[in-house]
């Protein structure tokens, strides 16, 4: 079994600590020293690995997106039909790995911060394009392109909206309820279609 060097472990510990701190605070208003303390390293070491706090926040968002992308690709590989592909994307969005309080709070905080940060806005655009592409990979096998675009956009809005409502401790409290709401919408849009 290959050994993992200390730097990747410490970098990951700092990213995990950032997610935890943002989740607890509910905003990006956390300090490098607070994050370093949670990770069990010195502030100097945190600055050594990431430089400024903005760089650590950017790395944290990239990490969250990378994990979501890995989980989604794995789920899509298991989907046998276009309809299953759409459901797989929805299910991953509300999986135990993704739909946990710290990650939900981080998403909300990143959305707010992206209004003034070009780098975070760019990452959120990457997320939006991937989500659309993943949904379209199933929907275009069921619906005409224009209609598939509309359903993908609405489904993405439902996913994001349910995250926001959960972050605000309002609305849909459980992942299964969120999935059921979106699946009801999809069934309404796809009913009567020949589903491969």
In a domain, 78, yes or no: yes
Q: Do 45 and 35 touch, CB atoms closer than 8 A?
A: no
Indicate whether 102 belongs to any domain.
Answer: yes
Domain that holds residue 156: 57-191
Residue 87 scores a pLDDT above 70: yes
The domain total for the chain is 1
Q: Quick one: average pLDDT of 74-87?
A: 97
Angle between helices 82-93 and 118-139 (to 10 degrees): 150
Report d(CA 57, CA 161) in Å as an integer: 22
What average pLDDT does this structure show over 109-121? 88
CA 126 to chain centre: 11
Please state which of the ranges 20-24, 51-55, 123-127, 189-193 shows the lowest mean pLDDT: 189-193
Residue 196 belongs to some domain of the structure: no
**Across residues 39-54, what is the average pLDDT?**
87
Structure tokens at 146: 């224009």
In a domain, 40, yes or no: no
Q: Is residue 104 part of a domain?
A: yes
Domain membership of residue 16 (yes or no) is no
Of 40-49, 88-97, 148-157, least confident by mean pLDDT is 40-49
Supply the CATH number for residue 91's domain: 1.10.357.10
- Supply the pLDDT for residue 3: 44
CB atoms near residue 97 (< 10 Å): 11
Asked whether residue 164 is domain-assigned, the answer is yes
- Look over the chain and give the mean of its residue pLDDT values, rounded to a whole number: 89
Q: Of 119-133, 161-175, 180-194, which gets the smallest average pLDDT? A: 161-175
In a domain, 26, yes or no: no
């Amino acid at each position: 079994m290959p050994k993992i060097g200390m730097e990747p472990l410490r970098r990951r510990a700092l990213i995990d600590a950032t997610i935890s701190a943002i989740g607890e605070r509910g905003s990006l208003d956390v300090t490098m020293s607070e994050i370093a303390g949670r990770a069990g390293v010195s502030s100097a070491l945190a600055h050594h690995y990431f430089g400024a706090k903005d760089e650590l926040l950017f790395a944290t968002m990239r990490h969250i997106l990378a994990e979501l992308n890995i989980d989604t690709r794995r789920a899509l590989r298991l989907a046998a039909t276009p309809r299953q592909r759409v459901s797989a994307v929805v299910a991953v969005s509300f999986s135990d790995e993704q739909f946990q309080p710290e990650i939900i709070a981080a998403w909300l905080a990143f959305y707010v911060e992206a209004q003034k940060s070009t780098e975070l806005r760019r990452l959120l655009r990457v997320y939006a394009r991937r989500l659309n592409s993943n949904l379209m990979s199933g929907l275009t096998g069921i619906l005409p392109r224009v209609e598939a675009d509309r359903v993908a956009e609405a489904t993405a809005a439902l996913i994001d909206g349910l995250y926001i409502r959960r972050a605000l401790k309002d609305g849909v409290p459980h992942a299964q309820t969120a999935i059921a709401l979106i699946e009801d919408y999809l069934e309404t849009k796809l009913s009567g279609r020949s589903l491969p």
